[in-house]
Amino acid sequence: MEFNNVTVHAKANVYFDGRVISHTVITSDAEHKTVGVILPGSYHFGTQKAERMEIVEGDCVVVLDGSEKSAAYSSGQAFEVPANSGFTITVSAEACHYICSFLGA
pLDDT band at 105 (very low <50, low <70, confident <90, very high): low
pTM for the model: 0.91
Percent of the chain scoring above 90 in pLDDT:
85
Averaged over 35-54, what is the pLDDT? 96
Show me where the domains of the chain are located.
Answer: 7-103
21 or 2, greater pLDDT: 21
Cα gap 10→66, rounded to integer Å? 34
Residue 61 CA, chain-centre distance (Å), reads 12
For 65-104, how does the pLDDT look when each residue is reduced to its tens digit (9 = 90+)? 999 999 999 999 999 999 999 999 999 989 999 999 998 7
- CATH tag, 7-103: 2.60.120.10
- The strand pairing partners of 91, in sequence order, are 41
Write the CB contacts of 76 (distance below 8 Å, at least 6 apart in sequence).
55
DSSP 28-96: TT--EEEEEEE-SEEEEEE-SSEEEEEEEESEEEEEETT---EEEEETT-EEEE-TT-EEEEEE-SS-E
Length of the chain: 105
Average per-residue pLDDT for the chain: 94
User: Band of the pLDDT at 5, cuts 50, 70, 90?
Assistant: confident
Confidence of residue 1 (pLDDT cuts 50, 70, 90): confident
Backbone angles phi, psi at 17, to 5 degrees: 55, 40
